[in-house]
Chain A
Amino acid sequence: MSSITRWSAVAVLVACVVSVPAPVLAKTDIQWWHALQLVLGERVNEIAAKFNASQNEYEVKPIFKGSYPETLNAAIAAYRAKQPPHIVQVYEVGTQTMLSSGAVYPVFQLMKDNKLVIDWNDIIPPVKTYYSTGGNLYSMAFNSSTPILYYNKDLFKKAGLADKPPATWDEVEAMAKKIVAAGGKCGASAAWPSWTLVENMHTWHDQPFADHNNGFDGLATTLRINGNLGVKSMEMLARGVKEGWFTYNGRLNKAEANMAAGECGIFLSSSAFMGNLARQAEGKFTWGTGFLPRLAGFPQGNSIIGGATLWVMKGAKPEEYRGVAQFFKYLASTENQAWWAGVTGYLPLTNAAVKAMESSGIYEKNPNLKTAVSQMNSGKTTPNSQGIRLGNYPSIRDAIEEQMENIFSGNKTAKQGLDDAVAKASDILKEFAALYK
C-alpha cells in the first residue's frame, strides 16, 4: 500500500469515528437526566415514550444518572464542560442552589418565549408556593410528595388496637407501646429523619424552621429548630428510643426496608413510598395510611413537599428549547398528571388532575392515594409552612441528621444536639451567603 492510500485510509477511519452519524429521522434529541429508579424509573421511561409517540419532531431521551446528588453533580460537571443536558431533575433541597446558579433557563420564561401556555394558577398551592420565586415557577414541577403516616394493620390487630391510624403523638406513643408489648420489633419509626421529624414537624405545627420566612424572603442565615417545638419533639423521640417504642432505622430512606418487611407498626415516610410498599407487602400484611400526627399545644400548619422538579439548563439551541417546552406542556396535561399520580403515589400537580382522579373512581378503589392530598388540603399554608429554601440544604440536612443520631443515642440532650445543628447550619449558610452576596 502506498503511503498516500494508507494515510487516506486512516483519514477515512478517523472521519468515521469523529463524525456524528447522520440522523435517520430528522428528530431533535432532548436529553433528560433523572434520578428515579426501579418502578419510578420505569414510569419515567413510559411518559417519555408516550410523548415521543405523540409527535414526530422531538425525541426525549431519559437517562438515569444515579441518586439525586449524583444527578445534580453530573449536570454540574456537564454544564462546566459546556455539554449540559436540556432537562435535569433536581431534588427540592437543591432548589436554592439552582436558583442562584445562573445556569438555568426559568421555566415560566421558556414557556412564554415559546408561546405555549400552562395554567400555572391551576397548580396546587403547596407545590406552586414551594417552587415559585416572585410568583413565577423557575422549574417545572414534576414529582412532589409529602410525608404521611403508614400503619401495619396486622400488627395493630395483634396488639388489640382498632383499625385506625393515630392522630396525635400521644396516640402514637400509646399504640406503639402496645405493639411492642405484643411482641412487635418496632413500634414506630420514620424514614428521611430530618424531613419527616424535623422539617415537617415544624411546618405541620406552624413553627418557623429558618429565619427570613424559611428563606423565602431572602437568604436564610440561621435555623430556628432549637425552639420550644424542636426541643419538645426531639425529647419525646429520644425518650421513645430509650423506652423502646420508637426505633431509629438510619438516614435517607433506609428505614423503609423495616416497614416493608412488616416490622413496624407506625411509620412516617413519603407518600411516594406507597408504590414500593404495595408491591413488597402484597400477600404478607395489610396496611393503611393517615395524616401526620399532631403534637398537643401547637397550631395547625401544613406539611411541606419533597421530591424534585425539572430544571432547564442554559446553553441549548432555540429549536431544542421548543421541544422542551412542548414536552412540559405534555407533562402538565390533566390526563398525564392523573396517570402519573395514580401509578406513583406522587401528588397530582394540578387541581384539574385531582378532580379527574376523583371522578375516575381511583380514590375509592385505593383510598390511600388520597391521603397526601387530603392532608395538605386539611392544613393551613402560612409563611412557616409554604416550604423551606436554604442554600447548601443537603449539607444542612446532613448536619441535622448527625445530631439526631447523637440525641437518639443519648450522647447529647435534645437541646444540646439541636443547638449544635443550628450552629453548624449557620456556618454553612454564612458561606453560601458569602458566595452570592
Chain B
Amino acid sequence: MKRTVFRNPWLPYALVAPQVAITVVFFFWPALDSLRLSLYRASPFGDRLIFVGLRNFERLFNDGAYLRSVFTSFVFAFFVTFVGLAVALLLASLANAKIRGLAVYRSLLLWPYGIAPAVAGIIWLFIFHPSAGVLPYVLSFVTSYQFNWFLKGWVALALVIAAAIWKQFGYNLAFYLAGLQAIPGSVLEAASVDGAGPVRRFFAISFPLLSPVTFFLFTLNMTFAFFDTFGIIHAVTQGGPGDATSLLVYKAWKDGFEGLQLGLSAAQSVILMLLVITLTAFQFRYAEKKVTY
C-alpha cells in the first residue's frame, strides 16, 4: 500500500478534524447522553432528575408490550431484509438482460428510492386505506374479503413490511445491477458453452460473485429496518392496531415524545443501539467469512 507522507505532521489531523468533530457532536455525544439519561427518571422540563439505576430497563423487560415490540421488530426486519433483497435481486437479473427499452425500465425501477419514508407511507395509505383506498375498493368487486388493517394486526404488519420493501427497493436494485454488470461476461459465456442454463449460471456464478454486494445490502437493510422506518409507521398505522406494528424505534419515539417519559425512552434507544451494534458486529464476524471478494 502506498503511504502518503505529509510534510506538516498536524495537517492530516487537521484534515480529518471536521469529520471527527461532526461524528463526536452528532453521534457520540447524543449516544452518551441517552446512555446517561437511561439511568434516570427525568421530568420533561428537566427540573427533576432522579437516579434510578437500571429501573427503566427493568420496567421494559417486565412489560409485555415491549417484548412484543422486540418480536415484531425482528419479524419486520427479517421480512424487509430477506424478501426485499430477493425481490431486488430477481428484478435486477431481469433488468440486466439485453432487452429493448432497458434504460426506461431501469429508471422506473430506481424511482421508489427517491421518495422519503413518510411520503412512501402516505402513498401506501392512499392505495390501501380500508374505506378510501383504491385497492380495497377494487378488491370488494372480486371478493368479499374485508381488507381492514385498521383492525387486523397481521394485515397491518404485512402492509408496512411491503411499504418498507418497496421504499428500499430502488437502492437494493441499483447495487445489484452494478454488481451484475461487474461480473465478467467471459465467465458466463464459458458456463453457457459447458451447457449451464440461465438458472444454473445464476446460482453457480452470479450469486456467489455478488456476495459482497449482498453482504453490504444485508447490513444496510437490517439497519434501515430497525432505525429508519419511523416515517412509514407514523404515516400509516401509528403502531396499531393494538400494538401490532409498534416497532422498537416507533415505541421509543412515542414514549419519549408523546409520553414524555424521557428516561424510559432513552433506555429503549440504548437497547436499540446495542441491538444494531451486535447485529452488525455479528455480521462482520461470521457472515463476512463466507463472502468472496
Q: Give A contacts to B, CB under 8 Å.
A: 69-70, 72-73, 76, 79-80, 97, 100-103, 185-186, 241, 247-252, 257-258, 261, 263, 392, 394-395, 398, 401-403, 405-406, 408-409, 411, 424, 427-428, 431, 434-436
Residue B153, interface by CB 8 Å: yes
Whether B118 is near chain A, meaning CB under 8 Å from some CB there, is: no
Besides A248-B150, A398-B254, A405-B240, 17 other CB < 8 A contacts?
Answer: A69-B257, A76-B46, A76-B260, A79-B46, A97-B44, A101-B43, A249-B150, A251-B240, A252-B238, A258-B131, A394-B260, A405-B150, A405-B241, A409-B152, A411-B153, A427-B59, A428-B261
A186 to B131: give the CA distance in the assembly, Å: 9
Find out whether the CB atom of B261 lies under 8 angstroms from the CB atom of A405: no
Please count how many residues in chain B sit with their CB below 8 Å of the partner chain's CB atoms: 32
Is B50's CB under 8 angstroms from A435's CB? yes
Contacts of A434 in B (CB 8 A): 41, 50
Interface pair A392/B47, CB less than 8 Å apart: no
- Cross-chain contact A409 with B257 (CB below 8 angstroms): no
Query: Which B residues lie at the A interface, using CB under 8 A?
Result: 41-48, 50, 59, 63, 65, 131-132, 150-153, 238-243, 254-255, 257-261, 264
B150 to chain A: which residues have CB within 8 Å?
A: 248-250, 405
Q: A405-B240, A409-B151 are in contact. Are A79 and B131 (CB under 8 A)?
A: no
Given A103-B47, A263-B131: A395 and B255 interface contact (C-beta under 8 Å): yes
Q: How far is the CB of B51 from chain A (nearest CB, A)?
A: 12
Is A402 within 8 A of B132, CB to CB? no
Contacts of B240 in A (CB 8 A): 250-251, 401-402, 405
- Complex Cα gap A403–B153 (Å): 13
Q: Which of A69, A248, A258, A392 contacts B132 (CB 8 A)?
A: A258
Interchain CB contact under 8 A, A241 and B151? yes
A395 B241 Cβ-Cβ under 8 A? no
Q: Report the 5 A-B pairs with minimum CB-CB distance, sorted nearest first.
A: A395-B259, A405-B241, A409-B151, A101-B45, A406-B242
- Least CB separation from B64: chain A residue: A420
Supposing A392-B259, A409-B151 touch, asked if A76 and B45 sit within 8 A by C-beta, the answer is: yes
Q: By the criterion CB–CB under 8 Å, are A394 and B242 in contact?
A: no
- Given A73-B257, A394-B259, A405-B151, CB of A435 within 8 Å of CB of B43: yes
- CB-CB < 8 A to A97: which residues of B? 44, 260
Which of B45, B151, B260 makes the CB contact (< 8 A) with A392? Answer: B260
Docked pose: A395 CA to B43 CA in angstroms: 14
Whether the pair A395, B261 counts as a contact (CB closer than 8 A) is yes
Contact A102 B47 (CB under 8 A): yes
Chain B residues whose CB sits within 8 angstroms of the CB of A263 once the complex forms: 131
Cβ B259 vs Cβ A249 within 8 A = no
Q: Chain A CB within 10 Å — which of B42, B151, B243 has the most?
A: B151
Return chain B residues, CB-CB under 8 Å to A405.
150-151, 240-242
